[in-house]
């Protein structure tokens, strides 16, 4: 199967981007406290960004004759990003720490995709992975800066 491993990573990203968008949405809904007025609308931008990535990743998978996950069941079964029931009990810094963990995981999936697509010589997909990994690392840096921490990028 041509680009088999690359297609597997693309589909993993379909599940992970879908799940991360929900985690960001939950942060948006359950946020309270300091920086609410700044961070609440920022979560809308982050959801839009994740949905744009999801669309491009899914369309690339289809271009390679793959079939993106398209049900909530598939997403839940395949994602590497955990979830939990929404609650107002978490502070904004706690929520941002969860997002930092999830964005760090996402950067790792993109890195894996870079390596796999290099082996399979799918440089067009690799270019997509590199661009999104770079953007994800920037987002991670910004989250960590809000938490008064170093980016901790691998």
Per-residue pLDDT at 152: 86
Residues counted in the chain: 154
Per-residue pLDDT at 99: 98
pTM of structure: 0.96
Q: Which of 95, 6, 113 is nearest to 46 (CA)?
A: 95
Tens-place pLDDT, residues 3-44: 999 999 999 999 999 999 999 999 999 999 989 999 999 999
Per-residue pLDDT at 78: 98
Domains, the chain, ordered by start? 4-146 (1.20.1260.10)
Tens-place pLDDT, residues 39-95: 999 999 999 999 999 999 999 999 999 999 999 999 999 999 999 999 999 999 999
């Amino acid at each position: 199967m041509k680009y088999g491993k690359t297609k597997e990573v693309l589909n993993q990203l379909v599940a992970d981007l879908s799940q991360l968008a929900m985690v960001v949405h939950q942060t948006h809904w359950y946020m309270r406290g300091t920086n609410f007025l700044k961070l609440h609308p920022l979560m809308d931008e982050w959801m839009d960004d994740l949905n744009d990535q999801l669309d491009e990743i899914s369309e690339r998978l289809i271009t390679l004759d793959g079939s993106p996950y398209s049900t909530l069941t598939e997403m839940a079964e395949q994602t590497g990003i955990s979830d939990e029931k929404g609650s107002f009990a978490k502070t904004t810094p706690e929520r941002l720490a969860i997002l930092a963990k999830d964005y760090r995981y996402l950067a790792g999936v993109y890195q894996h995709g870079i390596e796999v697509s290099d082996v399979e010589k799918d440089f067009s997909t690799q270019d997509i992975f590199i661009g999104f990994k770079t953007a994800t690392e920037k987002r991670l840096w910004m989250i960590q800066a809000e938490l008064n921490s170093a980016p901790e990028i691998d």
